[in-house]
Amino acid sequence: MRNPDTLREDATAIFRAALKAVDPAAAIRRHLRRKRDRLQVGNRSYDLARLRRVLVVGAGKAGAPMAAAVDEILGDRIAAGIVTVKAGHGGPTRVVRIQEAAHPVPDAAGLAGAEAILDLARGAAADDLVVALISGGGSALLPLPVPGITLEEKQQVTKQLLSCGATIQEINAVRKHISAVKGGQLARAAAPAQVLTLVLSDIIGDPLDAIASGPTAPDQTTFAQALAILGRYGIRAAVPPAVRAHLEAGAAGRVPETPKPGDPLFRQVHHRIVANNSQALEAAAAAAATRGYRTLILASGIHGEAREVAKVLAALLLEVRATGRPVEPPCCLVAGGETTVTVRGRGTGGRNQEMALAAAVELHGAEGVLFFSAGTDGTDGPTDAAGAASDGQTVARARAAGLEAARHLAENDAYPFFGALGDLVVTGPTRTNVMDVHLLLAGPRETRPA
């Protein structure tokens, strides 16, 4: 039987292999190639000799390495560029300027970056190519409200949506409709220039209109849907009056909608997904196999309330341990996606830490199992941890240290709980972002004599 320390070491190594597989710079190099004056991306080719300028814009946690790779490939042809990234996630580039800003709640630095990006796009002409680098976190990092709404009011709405348990898709649907750049409006600003958007996906199913709120993609959401989301979570009356008034005016047809599918401007816009959660999961499974585990990828679309999802995954891990179904141990079940947390307590944590804590309660007393959950961006909620790991002894170890798992779970207070046990997963900024990775490890089952 593998001991708990071995399972933890293996899970850490497997997670790092997943991160390596979605390195943003390597992903750009796989998809974007230049041979003299020909720029190739997939089946599409651009004649650089016919272009007046190449402009680079973008936003997201993976923006710095993406920009560095584009710099390396197109450096001598880039006329100007600016990409906004999360504070602490910057990196060296030659031509493209990196603007660091706050995430997930926007700040003045993000506002300045968004204004510069929009100005650059507006200056593009028909014989220019705008290369847009989009990754998870880009929505909060492009905080340019429509006239009449302040940054502070947008910050308040973001906080309210984050706290009530809204999904990232719902949050972005609202943010698009109070933004001057999201929901295809960056592409509208760049028209009639050609736009090439390279995307690192952090959304289940890789929907282009949802990743970073789709600044260069057609928007399928509406003002009416944004209002309905506020109503669904009971915060319509609580949002700033200017926000509510703008959404109501849009729903009534007094404010132009975001550009929709079929708009002619998108004939000049092309997108390419360069990395996503599935690639991370495949790499994790391969790394687990090299360590002697049988592997099974469950899904890359795991979503729902974090603690409820954790119960299901923990039950599956216990089934594996007891019966060998659906995979005989030693095994590593791999899953990914993005859960949500409805904040009811006053504690500190994140969705991955909450999942690990809920799993610890379910796994209490079990031998030879480990639940590992972490965000590929290196951050989980408002903490410096990417996630946490738990096993069948976590609850007992906590009690010995004076901690009650159930109380910490009720208070959404997983961070100090796992911090005291030394079970936080801390990676520092990874400069990538393809949602979360969940690893369910089970050591060999004990064989009993007949």
Segment 34-53, tens digit of pLDDT: 999 999 999 999 999 999 99
User: Is 450 a residue whose pLDDT tops 70?
Assistant: no
Range of the domain at 191: 23-144+179-221+258-275
Q: Give the global pTM.
A: 0.90
Q: Give 381: exposed, middle or buried? Use CB within 10 Å, 0-12, 13-18, 19+.
A: buried
Please check whether residue 220 is in contact with residue 248, taking contact to mean a CB–CB distance below 8 angstroms.
Answer: no
Q: Does 252 map to a domain?
A: no
pLDDT confidence bin for 218, thresholds 50/70/90: very high
Residues 344 and 264 in one domain: no
- Report the C-alpha gap between 208 and 12 in whole angstroms: 31
Q: What is the mean pLDDT of the chain?
A: 95
Q: Does 243 map to a domain?
A: no
User: Is 208 a residue whose pLDDT tops 50?
Assistant: yes
Is the model more confident about 165 or about 328? Answer: 328
427 contacts: CB under 8 Å, gap ≥ 6: 19, 374, 378, 386
Q: Report pLDDT digits (tens) over 260-283.
A: 999 999 999 999 999 999 999 999
Residues 365 and 267 in one domain: no
- Residue 217 one-letter amino acid: A
Least confident of 243-247, 339-343, 359-363: 339-343
Q: Does 239 map to a domain?
A: no
Residues 193 and 303 in one domain: no
Q: Report pLDDT digits (tens) over 278-321.
A: 999 999 999 999 999 999 999 999 999 999 999 999 999 999 99
Instruction: Read off the CATH number of the domain in which 128 is found.
Output: 3.40.50.10180
Residues 264 and 344 in one domain: no
Residues 271 and 284 in one domain: no
Residues 65 and 129 in one domain: yes
Q: Does 106 map to a domain?
A: yes
How many separate domains does the chain show?
2
Mean pLDDT confidence for 428-443: 96
Q: Does 39 map to a domain?
A: yes
Q: Does 209 map to a domain?
A: yes
- Report the C-alpha gap between 144 and 447 in whole angstroms: 62
User: Is 27 a residue whose pLDDT tops 70?
Assistant: yes
Q: In what order do the strands lie in the sheet containing 424-425?
A: 294-302, 331-337, 436-442, 369-375, 387-391, 424-425
pLDDT confidence bin for 424, thresholds 50/70/90: very high
Please identify which residue in the block is written with the tokens 């995430």: 103
Residues 314 and 270 in one domain: no
